Amino acid sequence: MPDQTTLILFKPDAVAKNLTGKVLARFEEAGFKVRGIRMMRLDDALLREHYAHVADKPFFPEIVEFMSRTPVIALALQGEDAIARVRDLLGPTNSKEAAPGTIRGDFGEDMMVNVCHASDSPENAAAELKRFFRDEEIFEF
């Protein structure tokens, strides 16, 4: 499998609980390279774009409230088969179903409070990376 670059968002629970270093270390220990990293506050427009697939759902305001609690950390992460491997390291979206040893199994709480967002396909990774990074903020080395 070729190298891929994927987007990770450290969610407010990871930021508030000071888990970002521990989680980033797991990604690096698995052989991934950081190509870009930035801390930012997500505004309503960006959240509506990023969560467009659920923006019409009754729980969308809860997502906006949660994702606005603290700044998030956006990470462009590169590695072989990165999209699938990162999602394996994270575990299922619902942290209650995630096995111990996965990031969400060790640190998450539920469907929303689950430490990180990760791109789920090459197409979404490309779109999400453009949403959170300018071209000059992702580095080749």
pTM: 0.94
- CB neighbour class for 44 (10 Å; exposed up to 12, middle 13-18, buried from 19): exposed
> Catalytic: which of 117, 129, 132, 133?
117
What would you report as the CA-atom Rg of the chain, rounded to the nearest whole angstrom? 14
Domains within the chain, CATH numbers bracketed: 3-135 (3.30.70.141)
14: confidence class by pLDDT, cuts 50, 70, 90? very high
Active site residue 117: yes
- CB neighbour class for 113 (10 Å; exposed up to 12, middle 13-18, buried from 19): middle
> How do residues 36-53 score in pLDDT, each as one tens digit?
999 999 999 999 999 999
> How do residues 68-112 score in pLDDT, each as one tens digit?
999 999 999 999 999 999 999 999 999 999 999 999 999 999 999
